Amino acid sequence: MGLYEFLSWKDVHEASLELAEVLKGKAEVVVGVLRGGYFPAHLIADALGLEVLVVRVRSYSGVGKRGKGKVVLPLIGDVEGKRVVAVDDVCDSGSTLKLVKELISLYSPKEVLTATLYVKPTCSERPDAWARETDKWIVFPWDAFETLREDPSVKGELERVLGLRLDILGEGEGPGKP
């Protein structure tokens, strides 16, 4: 499965805890970028004893299909005068991180840092902290069914990595490989 990098929940937890260690003492509130950034944001906030807030920006329409970033849900919560770290799952182009940082800045924080579990070589707006680098399409545990719908051939590897049976979709019902 050379195109993909499959992650287990354990992989996500370990990478999130590495980021929490790096971010310790640098933030007063964590903002998770919905959808994928919420999971690591929650783990980081929990490890650091911080509040987790959310914002939603959409920039993907499927496996490998990037679009223009769009704010779907504005920041929920108060960051005024606080040191904030915005957390997403991956920095691909950097456009989402840039948009999120600009959006949070509108709410008068003291500082805005960014962090991602993964960074790709194509990321132009590098986060302030990240745990791993890859040039592959990352399949996070929370994207298992979305990926399976897009590429049914990944079912066996997803089941192996997640330790689950994913029969809810049968053999997958997507258009095929990206």
Active-site residue set: 92
What's the CA gap between 175 and 178, in Å, rounded? Answer: 8
Q: Which residues make Cβ contacts (< 8 Å) with residue 68, sequence separation at least 6?
A: 59, 95
How many other C-beta atoms can be found within 10 angstroms of the C-beta atom of residue 78? 13
The DSSP bridge pattern shows strands 65-76 and 29-34 to be: unpaired
CB 56 within 8 A of CB 172: no
